[in-house]
């Protein structure tokens, strides 16, 4: 058993987000020989962001398979492997290229369990880096999670911390349904406490990352640490912000944001994807459809990405997605309205 160091809990170490994902994969592969990895350059190269580094040497080429450059073929192979008894974990190098696997995910993986009356399950995971901030431009910086969260039969998770990156991935691998894990590229090097034990976190359960009394900020993925930083800036002005991390986009935990909204009366929803028809619209709709509406002191504010592809120019790229100062301004806006 690990020992506590530096005041941390016994069995809890500080890992990077990428290291936490690798540990989840390693533990899942040791626990279940049906778990295999598929993807472009995940073996010898260790993945586009180094997440699978060392796993080929540890588990061999039968379980860590470098594939040809065809996202549709990789995903189709994973679906077939899942239906016939394996538990594949696919890596798509950039979320933008998940578009090439759309037919396999939406028409096949998502629907098989329904079409065959529950006699077939598709226990596969698709991991994919997403988001802006690395200067990778329009075809390597997308945040397309809302497309897949719209589809019955798919589950979509977006961990914001290293601990959740491990715990939610373990839960995804154990799930009998296809799960898409959206990993923001800027989070890979972030560090935080991660339990050594392989403890899955339940899918569909949000977390309150910071308690507050004045405004609720509902955030996803990389927007969670930005919201927490914004909350500290606002605290210096006497504004007490509560930050809710959705963690899972489908199934969506609507009650945790609603409970927070009933306490604060004011809500800002922040996410990186394009604002129109995004996750923020769903969260806002859930809040105003029910009894929570009568607790609101001001209209819900949605803060999403600009209505354009992510620019290559770094200044424009930064302007295209919400930053800490944008969250601060949105909180001030909702306070001014009620």
Give the integer Cα–Cα distance in Å for 265 and 261: 5
Residue 337 is a catalytic residue: no
CB 199 within 8 A of CB 167: yes
Average pLDDT over residues 308-315: 96
Say whether 306 sits in a helix, a strand or coil: coil
* Residue 324 half-sphere exposure toward CB, CA atoms < 13 A: 9
Using the predicted structure, report yes or no on whether residue 9 has a pLDDT greater than 80.
no
Give the integer Cα–Cα distance in Å for 242 and 218: 8
What is the tens place of the pLDDT at every residue in 133-186?
999 999 999 999 999 999 999 999 999 999 999 999 999 999 999 999 999 999
Using the predicted structure, report yes or no on whether residue 1 has a pLDDT greater than 70.
no
Residue 196 is a catalytic residue: no
Number of neighbours of residue 173 by Cβ within 10 angstroms? 25
Q: β-strand 155-157 against 179-184: which pairing, if any?
A: parallel
Q: Looking up tokens 């459809």, which residue turns up? A: 289
Q: Looking up tokens 């898409």, which residue turns up? A: 180
Say whether 297 sits in a helix, a strand or coil: coil
Short-list 222, 220, 267, CA closest to 242 = 267
Q: Looking up tokens 């500080």, which residue turns up? A: 14
Among 19, 140, 184, 317, the active-site one is: 140
The beta-strand segments (E) located in the chain are 12-16, 35-39, 64-66, 87-91, 125-130, 155-157, 179-184, 191-195, 207-210, 215-219, 241-245, 248-250, 267-274, 301-305
Confidence of residue 338 (pLDDT cuts 50, 70, 90): confident
Among 40, 71, 145, 272, the active-site one is: 71
pLDDT at 4: 39
* Residue 162 half-sphere exposure toward CB, CA atoms < 13 A: 21
What is the tens place of the pLDDT at every residue in 101-141?
999 999 999 999 999 999 999 999 999 999 999 999 999 99
pLDDT at 2: 42
Using the predicted structure, report yes or no on whether residue 3 has a pLDDT greater than 50.
no
pLDDT at 5: 43
* Residue 224 half-sphere exposure toward CB, CA atoms < 13 A: 23
Using the predicted structure, report yes or no on whether residue 8 has a pLDDT greater than 60.
no
Average pLDDT over residues 310-335: 97
């Amino acid at each position: 058993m690990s020992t506590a160091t530096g005041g941390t809990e016994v069995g809890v170490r500080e890992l990077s987000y990428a290291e936490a994902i690798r540990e989840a994969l390693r533990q899942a592969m040791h626990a279940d020989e049906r778990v295999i990895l598929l993807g472009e350059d995940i073996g010898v190269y260790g993945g586009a962001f180094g997440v699978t580094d060392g796993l080929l040497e540890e588990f061999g080429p039968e379980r860590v398979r470098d594939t040809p450059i065809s996202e549709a073929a990789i995903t189709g192979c994973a679906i077939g492997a899942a239906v016939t008894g394996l538990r594949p974990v696919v890596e798509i190098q950039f979320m933008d290229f998940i578009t090439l696997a759309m037919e396999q995910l939406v028409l096949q993986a998502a629907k098989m369990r329904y079409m065959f009356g529950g006699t077939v399950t598709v226990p596969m995971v698709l991991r994919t880096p997403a988001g802006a901030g690395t200067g990778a431009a329009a075809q390597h910086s997308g945040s397309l999670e809302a497309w897949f969260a719209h589809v019955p039969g798919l589950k979509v998770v977006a961990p914001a911390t290293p601990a959740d990156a491990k715990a939610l991935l373990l839960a995804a691998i154990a799930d009998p349904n296809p799960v898409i894990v959206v990993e923001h590229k800027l989070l890979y090097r972030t560090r935080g406490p991660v339990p050594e034990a392989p403890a899955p976190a339940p899918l569909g359960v949000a977390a309150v990352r910071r308690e507050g009394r004045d405004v609720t900020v509902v955030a996803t993925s990389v927007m969670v640490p930005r919201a927490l930083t914004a909350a500290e800036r606002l605290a210096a002005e006497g504004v007490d912000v509560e930050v809710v991390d959705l963690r899972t986009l489908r199934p969506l935990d609507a009650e945790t944001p609603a409970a927070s909204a009933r306490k604060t009366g004011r809500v800002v929803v922040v996410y990186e994807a394009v604002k129109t028809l995004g996750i923020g619209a769903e969260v806002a709709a859930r809040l105003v459809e029910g009894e929570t509406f009568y607790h609101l002191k001001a209209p819900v504010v949605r803060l999403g990405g600009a209505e354009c592809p992510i620019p290559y120019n770094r200044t424009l790229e930064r302007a295209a997605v919400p930053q800490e100062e944008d969250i601060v301004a949105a909180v001030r806006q909702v306070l001014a309205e009620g």
